[in-house]
Structure 1
């Protein structure tokens, strides 16, 4: 028989939650273990901004702009804010970029770890709940101004539909219907989504709706970066359906952006 402490160690190692294992072995490695007490202001940390998500016929789509800001400064024009969580889900981040990226990587490992231990994928509701627990663990930092507010979407392989979930800084999880947006430009993006979204959109139509909603957000929110024709920078867009998650090629995004810009131009001048 194994000694009690050895058995406990093996039990922790076999946990289906990688986060729980790290919390037991090396809690300082968790994103929520950071201390913001020495920060003189949260404007010193880059912030990721607008993410949009919408359902379409056979799946769900998520898109994010490429801008990160520090106060009134553009910290990056190239940041990516939408990532595949696993084969059938994607995650978009808004808020404190560094912590959000750490949570994203931990969430990806969490899902992979569960699959290795259990021999099967976690359900979409289970994934959404695990992410909620991670956001809840970040609450002390959120109260110091370093909040992370994700948007999560995936294809439910049981119900055969695309679903999307929003969160608040306390880890509250809310299933959204049809479409949703988070981040500083979300009010403007959501207004565009309300007008442009319709049931049973095709994938190409859904991509154009997402790009146009980000374009509208960038038009009124300085922290959101619109399609950049000069630098050839386009939003990051993922679709998820029964075949899995797929990143939309930049040439398709460029074409969609150019069509939107052309449709809003009058004699070479934007309307």
Structure 2
């Protein structure tokens, strides 16, 4: 027996046949607005405690970008998780890292991934990197109400621009402001310490392995001074999530390569008084 709300003629519902654009967000807004995470508000009152994720760093290198995120989530003064992942592929040629309210951030990432996949299927081509950055800005702007209540999500977006043949990095604020960053950037509670490290250790023409070591140094520097940022955990073998994006696409650095890089970083810091020194 067909469902009660089905069309007796057997035709598909209007949501599956109506002409629309290539935006999955617009599709949901028109046919299932209750499923949209953006635009929701909370009842007036005390903001509930929720896990927060920090810190995300990114830097460019010759032929692409690298992004890394620590694995710690905090809830007030407590460690909520030591193994949360904060860096994800947005699509084949871009990555997104999350800082802020963890649950909302993960939902934003999943919706952003669907938005880019939907566009590709409808249009038969990839959205440009600028287009991806703009779509993410629109999604963040839609969550301004939640941000004003203390549940902010501030991602870091980076990718390989197929037209310019170079890696690019974009940062955002809670109002949806989009800013292109040169060379490197960091967001999250440990960002100020990570940026200082990136300024000191980044140089033009870096190789991918140079860039991986540089972002690891930055996360360790952030963890030294920010209690909400977790550095590499040698005892538990918990490493930051590190990914590169090049003309070959998004690639997550595997644990074996990260183990070797972490050991190299720790050795360099011991040899130079925990400053990282000059890696060139």
TM range (shorter): over 0.9
Note the residue ranges of structure 2 that are not aligned, 5 or more in a row. 1-12, 276-280
Q: Which of 15, 23, 30 does residue 29 from structure 2 map onto?
A: 23
Per the normalisation by structure 2, the TM-score is 0.89
Match of 2:155, SS state, is: strand
- Contact 2:51 2:74 (C-alpha < 8 Å) held by counterparts: yes
RMSD: 1.8
Alignment of 1:154-233 (within 5 A): 154-233=159-238
Give me the whole-angstrom Cα distance separating, in 1, the residues matched to 2:263 and 2:121.
Answer: 44
| Closer/same/farther in 2, CA of residues 37 and 8 from structure 1, 3 Å limit | closer
Give me the whole-angstrom Cα distance separating, in 1, the residues matched to 2:236 and 2:196.
Answer: 27
| Displacement of 1:253 | 1.3
Give me the whole-angstrom Cα distance separating, in 1, the residues matched to 2:173 and 2:26.
Answer: 22
Q: Which moved more, 1:225-234 or 1:14-23?
A: 14-23
- Contact 1:59 1:162 (C-alpha < 8 Å) held by counterparts: yes
- Contact 1:150 1:167 (C-alpha < 8 Å) held by counterparts: yes
Q: Which has the higher strand share?
A: 1
Moved over 3 A (4+): 6-12
- Contact 1:54 1:61 (C-alpha < 8 Å) held by counterparts: yes
Match of 1:66, SS state, is: coil
- Contact 1:92 1:150 (C-alpha < 8 Å) held by counterparts: yes
| Closer/same/farther in 2, CA of residues 262 and 157 from structure 1, 3 Å limit | same
- Contact 2:39 2:145 (C-alpha < 8 Å) held by counterparts: no
Give me the whole-angstrom Cα distance separating, in 1, the residues matched to 2:249 and 2:15.
Answer: 37
- Contact 1:211 1:253 (C-alpha < 8 Å) held by counterparts: no
Residue in 1 that maps onto 2:55: 50
Alignment of 1:39-78 (within 5 A): 40-42=46-48, 44-78=49-83
Give me the whole-angstrom Cα distance separating, in 2, the residues matched to 1:8 and 1:84.
Answer: 28
Per-residue CA deviation, residues 212-244 of structure 1 (Å, 9 max, x unaligned), is 100000000000000000000000011001010
| Displacement of 1:9 | 7.2
Residue in 2 that maps onto 1:3: none
Q: Which has the higher helix share?
A: 1
Note the residue ranges of structure 1 that are not aligned, 5 or more in a row. 1-5
Matched pairs, number: 262
Per the normalisation by structure 1, the TM-score is 0.92
